[in-house]
Amino acid sequence: MRPLRTLAVLAALASAALLAPPAQAAATVRTSAATIYRGEGDQLLRVRTTTRPGIVKITHNGEGHLAVWTLAPSGREDDLLANQVGAYKGTSAFNTGTSNRTAAFSIKADGAWTLQVLPLTKARSWSITSRGTGDDVLRLSSTSRGLHRLRIRHSGDGHFAVWTLDANGRTHNLVVNKVGSYNGTVSLPPGTRYASIKANGTWSIVRR
């Protein structure tokens, strides 16, 4: 009887091992306002398909290339949220196009990462003078009206772009699109509620 009991115990342990999640599986934490995913290395995170604009706060502690895409239900790569070599910390907007539908997030990474998915209304407050480093999303307290100026500076050596978004979070205008350092003044398009900044260096935006 003892050998049979031993075999039964071994069989149960083997079955549990087969059913256990892989070591690299992403952990998910949900709160009332956000969903946080944590993992390491390459992952594909399926989510409930949505067309609603939002933001993703991303961190990466690897040394290699990090790329984070939203995927459409067809599997097509849609929004490139992060694209950097080495450590990364930034915030990006997604579903800003009227045809966007996000069904998953694709992560290509060599280190540990986190993704915090939030409503667009949780973007950082856009003060008169806003400063940051790297990718970010800013939110005005109300939609802009009339003629206003933006004094914008960037000290990085990579691509620098500033998109404005309307009150619904949809792409409005591309006000800056340069490579390297930048120092200029542009108009703030009426109807702007958000700004999406893609940068690899420090930047500042002053509203006037």
What digits encode the pLDDT tens for the residues 58-113?
999 999 999 999 999 999 999 999 999 999 999 999 999 999 999 999 999 999 99
Tell me if 181 sits within 8 A of 154, measured CB to CB: yes
Would the pLDDT of 143 be above 90?
Answer: yes
Report the alpha-carbon distance of residue 80 to residue 93 in Å, rounded.
10
pLDDT of residue 57: 98
Report the alpha-carbon distance of residue 115 to residue 46 in Å, rounded.
13
Q: What are 88's two structure tokens?
A: 């990364």
Report the alpha-carbon distance of residue 28 to residue 37 in Å, rounded.
5
The pTM of this model reads: 0.84
Task: State the chain's mean pLDDT as an integer.
Answer: 88
Residue range 118-124: mean pLDDT, rounded: 97
pLDDT of residue 32: 52
Would the pLDDT of 181 be above 60?
Answer: yes
Would the pLDDT of 141 be above 50?
Answer: yes
Tell me if 125 sits within 8 A of 155, measured CB to CB: no
Tell me if 120 sits within 8 A of 45, measured CB to CB: no
pLDDT of residue 34: 81
Would you kindly state where each structural domain of the chain is located, as residue ranges?
A: 27-120, 123-207
Record: fold of 27-120:
Jelly Rolls (2.60.120)
Q: Where does residue 189 rank: exposed (0-12), middle (13-18), buried (19+ CB within 10 A)?
A: middle
Place of tokens 């619904």: 168
Name the percent of the chain lying above pLDDT 90.
83
* Equal CATH topology for 27-120 and 123-207: yes
Second-level CATH architecture of 123-207:
Sandwich (2.60)
